[in-house]
Amino acid sequence: MRTGVWLVGARGSVATTSIVGGLALRAGLAGPTGCVTELPELRGPALPSFADLVFGGHDLATTPLCKRAEALADSGVIPGRLVAALPDELAAVEQELRPAPVGATQADRAAAVVSDLTAFRERHALDRVVVVNVSATEPAPAPHPGHADPEALRAALTGPDEVLPSSSLYAYAALLAGCPYVDFTPSTGLRLPALTALAEQARLPYAGHDGKTGETLVKSVLAPMFAMRNLAVRSWSGVNLLGGGDGATLADPAANAAKVRSKQRVLGETLGYLPQGGSRIEYVEDLGDFKTAWDLITFAGFLGTGMRMEFTWHGCDSALAAPLVLDLARLTAAAHAAGHVGPLSELGFFFKDPLGTPTHSLAEQWARLVDFTRELHAGRDGADDHAG
Amino acid sequence: MRTGVWLVGARGSVATTSIVGGLALRAGLAGPTGCVTELPELRGPALPSFADLVFGGHDLATTPLCKRAEALADSGVIPGRLVAALPDELAAVEQELRPAPVGATQADRAAAVVSDLTAFRERHALDRVVVVNVSATEPAPAPHPGHADPEALRAALTGPDEVLPSSSLYAYAALLAGCPYVDFTPSTGLRLPALTALAEQARLPYAGHDGKTGETLVKSVLAPMFAMRNLAVRSWSGVNLLGGGDGATLADPAANAAKVRSKQRVLGETLGYLPQGGSRIEYVEDLGDFKTAWDLITFAGFLGTGMRMEFTWHGCDSALAAPLVLDLARLTAAAHAAGHVGPLSELGFFFKDPLGTPTHSLAEQWARLVDFTRELHAGRDGADDHAG
Amino acid sequence: MRTGVWLVGARGSVATTSIVGGLALRAGLAGPTGCVTELPELRGPALPSFADLVFGGHDLATTPLCKRAEALADSGVIPGRLVAALPDELAAVEQELRPAPVGATQADRAAAVVSDLTAFRERHALDRVVVVNVSATEPAPAPHPGHADPEALRAALTGPDEVLPSSSLYAYAALLAGCPYVDFTPSTGLRLPALTALAEQARLPYAGHDGKTGETLVKSVLAPMFAMRNLAVRSWSGVNLLGGGDGATLADPAANAAKVRSKQRVLGETLGYLPQGGSRIEYVEDLGDFKTAWDLITFAGFLGTGMRMEFTWHGCDSALAAPLVLDLARLTAAAHAAGHVGPLSELGFFFKDPLGTPTHSLAEQWARLVDFTRELHAGRDGADDHAG
Amino acid sequence: MRTGVWLVGARGSVATTSIVGGLALRAGLAGPTGCVTELPELRGPALPSFADLVFGGHDLATTPLCKRAEALADSGVIPGRLVAALPDELAAVEQELRPAPVGATQADRAAAVVSDLTAFRERHALDRVVVVNVSATEPAPAPHPGHADPEALRAALTGPDEVLPSSSLYAYAALLAGCPYVDFTPSTGLRLPALTALAEQARLPYAGHDGKTGETLVKSVLAPMFAMRNLAVRSWSGVNLLGGGDGATLADPAANAAKVRSKQRVLGETLGYLPQGGSRIEYVEDLGDFKTAWDLITFAGFLGTGMRMEFTWHGCDSALAAPLVLDLARLTAAAHAAGHVGPLSELGFFFKDPLGTPTHSLAEQWARLVDFTRELHAGRDGADDHAG
């Protein structure tokens, strides 16, 4: 099952790490640490193998992919020996990267993306292409009448307005090209009525949004712990210090607000009430591709006794996100192959702000994911039987 | 369903907090924060109500219960207003506390305990009495031939040897008196072949062991998180600083070793491998009834990138343990009423070192506990129907 | 040397703790933990004894002092037994507390304060009264031509404008009444050209500003440590979570800005460069009178190796500030007695943003303080000789 | 002033980092971050320049120096580009490294070391050679009559006993060869009556011991902070997790004990009392050359209010120690040139367990160091004048 992985933001840290990692896995140079789909509970025949993945993508930037990879190696995100061992493979991917689409209207630019996606699929004889958004977080867009339904959207895009934010224009183009879409960022992406309706019409699945890679991952196990023990969380305050490109983007208050809202949701929905305190994102250039989050939780036990917990998470976002990007591409491809349509709420495990599912508990999300992949594999075994 | 709660170590911090809390709940002076059995998923007709609980117990110490309660109020473990509001209720419980049993042989002392338990049950017309061990942690006992089976044990106890450690002698007496037994400590308790066989013979359930109230509770959600994300935990090192009586006891290397082993088990069994590092317990008198645990976890993500997490847990053990003692008394009573016999592996949720179950994941333990109580309530509804 | 301590904000947490503590010290019910002036290096004959201190003050609020003290006892700031032991003493101080001054113009209100101060001094036959501002932090005031010099100020105050913020109006009144003035807050206080000129004319000393009680105290020893070791601090990011009245005040962005600026100054001035990162204040009501600060410092060692340090400070601001208020009252009184005029830069040890001194290193500030008190005591010994 | 730096343990991490760094500084490839002697307060003509330093040493191991340097680059301790840029310089130092001395008696082995030192000094026409012990920590030696005085020692060494531990045998040889000696480790080194007497006879200065590079460095500013504020430290508990060669050595209980004692001394001597709690060292291989220390300090403020502080230090010991090794070589050389004899207590700034000085406060140690170097430079200016 040859599968294209089309990365929006293909020269960014997450995408570059995904590509280097995918190539290294294919070449047997690295193991699948961090790849959820390689765990015994999820592994199976329905998923395309790492060798089946072909990478391509768009990016506004033009820095050569191998330079980006070397920079990531210098800053400790990926081992330099892997970059050094994969020059031809990286050069081959470089050939599949395209600049930002041009055109007079957003409709023109969407058409250019569709053309890139279609050509990519045909050039490599791919069964399907999964589009994954890993580009920088956008501010929330202004409302526009074109967001309401597919017809209104189609009409509006031919005019002069910037109807859709970039992430949504890519989602739109993906749907037109018949590609499943995954949003790994907190940007709008496919979450507009016009686009979800279009996905239904096109019989395409999609997944999102906002990859759960750090502080929120920890929250999604600690908050259920407090809930299961009937402990009253009085306050939960967090600060995220991060460098890297995304850090600078998130220093923008509008983008920050979107991300922070998505971060606090897990608490309200898991605990059933919103504790005091908030979560905050700050840019500290020196941290580079690493992120340090600190959270203080104050809680009450029996008879009101006050207690507290602190944690510090010092993670490399790209190294945490990249294997999940590969997982999501594999799972979404398998879901598409199995005929799933609409929001893949079974993939909530991967996201801070999961589509179409109320639970934020990692354990519950895991249980759903295990069930979902079991069904995919079972169906695939059937398919294989038929094929045989 | 009138239920006796017989506390071994009844004047200790955990027992005193359990008693004050149980009385306060009955009097409507406090809410059930920290009581798992009051969560919507577990609440139901099979459990004795707080008003149905009657407290009694043994202790080597003789400090009046109200003095112990006042001391706990002074150190911030329980609110002073509750102690002040319950003088008669505390005095009534004081009447039910007994000194350590005396007798020439362990058989004599067991008989004295049996007599205390039986008298307690009859005096209050109780449906049953659950014996809960919350006394100080013991060192592991020397092996003895009497541990092998009930006959050998019975014979040995009439001799001059200290055949059983204290926790096990109480377990033995509980079984003789027809009482279910819960071990909230890491001591040996019922975990000897002679005693488990005796429990089967007596058709009694038992639960244990070592209440999961702090660092290990956190481990039991964080370790599955790393496992579910296929992240490689390289080291997990912890230190527990604790004051209070139990702190001094655990400073004893032999007791420390038992506790530390129980703390690390969760990692090996959840991750499938044992990371580097260890867990350590140190006595710091100034911390009083509070405990500070600090853990450092180093882990590898995709392509080997090194990352780290730290947490500090600053909890009051008594305030965390006491509501669980009430929960365990209620659940074990209900299990006994429903005819359960042998180790209650469904109560693994409460323990660091759960009997008869391989999982240490809090989420899995929770799912089992929810199923178990649902069955208890369903059976009880039936019982009520019959009664009606 | 009978000395009045007139507290602006006399019913606040810091003032109440200072008063209870001062009375407890006088009554021999408590030791001088946290009182710097009781250290062997500083103790001596020039300072008024605790028994020489008489408390009074102003406050907008009218909650009785003993109620405030009981509330602080309930929240763990001061021992309840002290409050219970000092009812008459607290009632006597209550008699010396005055509401906010009234009057049509600021000149009128200043005159009312002068009258209160003078009457207090005379009523108790005090050698002098030190006015200490411990009221809530104000936003920075709008510039006004009246701030320029004493004449302009005097004229402006008779008009309808709110020329001076509250802290400065008290400072003005203190100077008119011949009282030394200490600003323990980051508010404007005496720091206006008109007021400093007036202090010179009145031959009065003053000290400030912004008591160094938590995160900044730690910074003032850690920043010199990095500097002395020639380690390059790359980033220093902090967050302060605080409840209590001051927390709510500081949630106001304008007040927050003043406080944060004062907090970062120590870094730039100690290191000689400003690292990346910032300091932030957030209000978390549940923390009550306690404050939790977390700081992350990233730094480079030899050949650029990146390293990091984190600290968490969990302190009770009132318990840290109150003994310093007593220290400052004693030291400023002694300085006044010795004829010091103008900013007491030798008291920089106590302040986040010390007047008239470039150093923020606690060790250097300590050395200056030790020298200063030694001189005061030496002068006083001389005075005693003369007196004899 | 050409100065030899003879490193005992020359292929260890600290020595290798010192050598690479010294060569890089000489070549202008790196700046002096972490080198205290390059701060404006200490810099001056009395110190040999980096270009004046010539490296040599002994080691039991035989791994080539460039291999050790590459391994340190791989683990992030030093930049790989520096190792790559200095192949000839490293090869030249390789020529100056010697294996462990051989000989039938300790006297023979000392003579072999003396011969190595003398030949090194002559081969490079050095003004002097400073011997610096950076080898692995030894357990405390058994007492021996030969430790009492130089005569007894000389006699004993010719016998079959292992009279001196390795660090002391090197110290003895250094003195015989007329070389000042610095002990950067907690080993015995020169601290035996026989050896200190011999240093006096030989008119040689020496410094030590146990470089202050991490947790104790932080303690040496925090403990004075608590003392200067008259805050009562109730407990101070620490844990040091470390990998690397020294980590494994220190896992040995005997060596651990020496190190831990040296770590706690700073508290008792700074505070005037010993708080509860202890310091502990644990080996965690995964941490490599980095060390994570966590400390919890509980303290009381005014009227006994309990508060707490935690810090985590994540440092690279080699990157912290190496520049201090260069500093100590330069300072000890200058002290020798200026005629200083005996323990250089003025260098206490560098050590956990400073010789001949009661203070552990970093600020006081710094003040002494500044005075000392000022005198050295002043004398040297005079010397230059005479020379001119």
Residue pLDDT, tens place only, C102-113: 999 999 999 999
In this complex, is the C-beta atom of B286 within 8 Å of any C-beta atom belonging to chain D?
yes
Q: Distance (Å) from the C-alpha of residue C70 to the closest C-alpha of chain D?
A: 14
Residue C386 confidence (pLDDT) above 50: no
Query: Is omega for the bond preceding D209 within 30 degrees of 0, making it cis?
Result: yes
Q: How far apart are CA D50 and CA D32, in angstroms?
A: 10
- Which positions 24-53 of B are in contact with A (Cβ < 8 Å)? 24, 30, 32-36, 38-39
C230 touches chain D (CB under 8 A): yes
**pLDDT band per the 50, 70, 90 thresholds, residue D253:** low
Instruction: For residue B283, give the DSSP letter.
Output: E
Last residue of a domain, one of D315, D338, D363: D315
Which of A45, B311, B285, A287 minimizes the C-alpha distance to C276?
A287
Same domain? B9 vs B108: yes
Q: In what helix (H) or strand (E) does residue B200 lie, and over which residues does it extend?
A: helix B193-202
Whether the CB of D73 is below 8 Å from some CB of chain C: the reply is no
Q: What is the pLDDT of residue D358?
A: 75
Helices and strands (H, E) in chain A, number of each type: 13, 11
Q: How many residues in chain A?
A: 388
Q: Are A36 and A132 members of one domain?
A: yes
**Token pair belonging to B337:** 């009423």
pLDDT above 90 as % of chain C: 84
Q: 3-state class of C40 per DSSP?
A: coil
Q: What is the CATH number of the domain that holds C73?
A: 3.40.50.720
Largest CA distance in chain B: 68
φ, ψ at C236 (rounded to 5°): -145, 105
Q: Provide DSSP, B88-126.
A: HHHHHHHTTEEEPP--SSHHHHHHHHHHHHHHHHHHTT-
> Is the Cβ–Cβ distance between D275 and D233 less than 8 Å?
yes
Query: Highest mean pLDDT: which of A212-216, A281-285, C342-346?
Result: C342-346
Among the partner-chain residues B290, B303, B363, the one whose CB lies closest to the CB of A21 is: B303
Q: Are residues D195 and D219 in the same domain?
A: no
Q: What is the pLDDT of residue A14?
A: 96
Which residue from C minimizes the CA distance to D297?
A: C313
C135-161, pLDDT tens digit by residue?
A: 998 988 999 999 999 999 999 999 999
What DSSP state is assigned to residue D351? B
Tell me, yes or no, whether B250 and B308 share the same domain: yes
Q: Is residue C245 within 8 Å of D233, Cβ to Cβ?
A: no
Q: In what order do the strands lie in the sheet with C279-283?
A: C279-283, C232-242, C290-300, C306-316, D306-316, D290-300, D232-242, D279-283
Question: Rounded CA gap, C32 and C37, in Å?
Answer: 9
Do B350 and B383 belong to one domain?
Answer: yes
Give Cα B156 distance to the centre of its chain. 28
Q: Is residue B162 domain-shared with residue B111, that is, in the same domain?
A: yes
Of chain B residues 184-203, which have a CB less than 8 A from chain A?
A: none
Distance CA D238, CA D281 (A): 9
Beta strands in chain C (DSSP E): 3-8, 53-59, 97-99, 128-133, 181-183, 205-208, 232-242, 279-283, 290-300, 306-316, 342-343
3-state secondary structure of D63: coil
Overall size of chain D counted in residues: 388
pLDDT classification of D32: cutoffs 50, 70, 90 = very high
- HSE-up (13 A, CA, CB side) for residue D180: 29
CA distance A357 to B46: 32
Residues A15, A13: Cα–Cα separation, whole Å:
6
For testing contact with chain B, the best of A216, A235, A270, A305 (most B CBs within 10 A) = A305
Distance from CA of A62 to the nearest CA of B (A): 25
The average pLDDT across A267-277 equals 92
The CA distance from B92 to B71, in Å, is 19
Choose among D171, D153, D174, D149: nearest CA to D162.
D153
Shortest Cα distance, chain A CAs vs residue B199, angstroms: 29
Measured CA to CA, the distance from residue B347 to residue B356 in angstroms comes to 10
Residues of chain B neighbouring D285 (CB-CB closer than 8 A): 235, 276
Domains held by chain A: number:
2
- Among the candidates D288, D315, D342, a domain finishes at D315
A67 with A95, same domain?
Answer: yes
Across the interface, whether the CB atoms of A282 and C237 are under 8 A apart is answered yes
- Element containing residue D291 per DSSP (H, E): strand D290-300
CA distance D322 to D325: 5
Close Cβ partners of A349 (under 8 Å, ≥ 6 residues apart) = A36, A212, A362, A365, A366, A368, A369, B228
Amino acid at D329: A
Judge if D33 and D176 occupy the same domain: yes
pLDDT in tens, C206-265: 999 999 998 899 999 999 999 999 999 999 999 999 987 666 666 666 666 666 766 677
Task: Please enumerate in sequence order all residues whose Cβ is within 8 A of that of B130, keeping only pairs 6 or more positions apart, or say none.
Answer: B3, B4, B5, B6, B179, B180, B181, B182, B328, B329, B332, B333, B336
Say how far apart CA A281 and CA A210 lie, in whole Å: 15
Residue D136 to residue D113: CA distance in whole angstroms: 18
Transcribe B122-176 into DSSP letters.
Answer: HHTT-SEEEEEE-SPPPPPPPP-GGGS-HHHHHHHHTSSS--S-HHHHHHHHHHH
Condensed to tens digits (0 to 9), the pLDDT of residues C271-301 reads: 999 999 988 889 999 998 899 999 999 999 9
Task: Looking at the complex, report in whole angstroms how far the Cα of residue C211 sits from the nearest Cα belonging to chain A.
Answer: 25
- Based on the fold, state whether residues B193 and B301 are members of the same structural domain: no
A232 interfaces chain C, CB cutoff of 8 Å: no
Q: How many helices (H) and strands (E) would you count in chain C?
A: 13, 11
The chain-wide mean pLDDT, for chain B, equals 92
The residues pairing with D281 across neighbouring beta strands, listed in sequence order, are: D240
Start-to-end C-alpha separation, chain A: 16
| Contact status of C366 with chain A (Cβ, < 8 Å) | no
ipTM of the predicted assembly exceeds 0.85: yes
Distance separating alpha carbons of residues A232 and A306, to the nearest angstrom:
10
Both D35 and D68 in one domain: the answer is yes
Strands, E, within C326-382: which ranges?
Answer: 342-343
Please give the pLDDT value at position A1.
86
- How many other β-carbons are positioned within 10 Å of the β-carbon of residue D15? 30
Residues in B closer than 8 angstroms to D235, CB to CB, are: 241, 284-287
CATH number at residue A291: 3.30.360.10
Is a pLDDT exceeding 70 seen at residue D14?
yes
Query: pLDDT band at D384, cuts 50/70/90?
Result: very low
Task: Point out the domain boundary residue: C293, C316, C339.
Answer: C316
User: Going by C-beta distance under 8 Å and a sequence separation of 6 or more, which residues neighbour residue B25?
Assistant: B31, B32, B35, B50, B326
- A254 and A155 together in one domain: no
Q: Which domain holds residue A148?
A: 3-210+319-384
Whether residue C294 and residue A296 make contact (CB cut-off 8 A), yes or no, is: yes
C235 touches chain A (CB under 8 A): yes
What CA–CA distance (Å, rounded) separates A359 from A350? 12
Of D21, D301, D366, the CB nearest to C320: D301
Query: For the residues C3-10, what does the mean pLDDT come to?
Result: 98
Question: A305 CB near a chain B CB, below 8 Å?
Answer: yes
Q: Is D279 helix (H, G, I), strand (E, B) or coil?
A: strand
| pLDDT given for residue C388 in this prediction | 30
**pLDDT given for residue B316 in this prediction:** 95
Angle at C151 between CA C150 and CA C156, to 5 degrees: 95
Partner residue facing A241 (CB), from C237, C284, C285: C237
Min Cα–Cα distance to chain A from B169, Å: 30
Query: How confident is residue C384, by pLDDT bands cut at 50, 70 and 90?
Result: very low
Give which of A105, A200, A187 is closest to A140, Cα–Cα. Answer: A187
Question: Comparing A80-89, A300-309, B257-266, which segment has the lowest mean pLDDT?
Answer: B257-266
Which chain A residues are closer than 8 Å to B230 by Cβ? 32-36, 38-39, 323
pLDDT tens for each residue of A25-50 = 999 999 999 999 999 999 999 999 99
- Given a contact cutoff of 8 angstroms between Cβ atoms, the answer to whether D44 and D170 are in contact is no
Q: How many CB atoms lie within 10 A of CB C248?
A: 14
Cβ–Cβ contact A264 with C under 8 A: no
- Residues C67 and C207 grouped into a single domain: yes
Summarize pLDDT for B269-316 with one digit per residue, the tens. 899 999 999 888 899 999 988 999 999 999 999 999 999 999 999 999
Residue B95 tokens read as 């009447």
Average of per-residue pLDDT across B188-199? 97
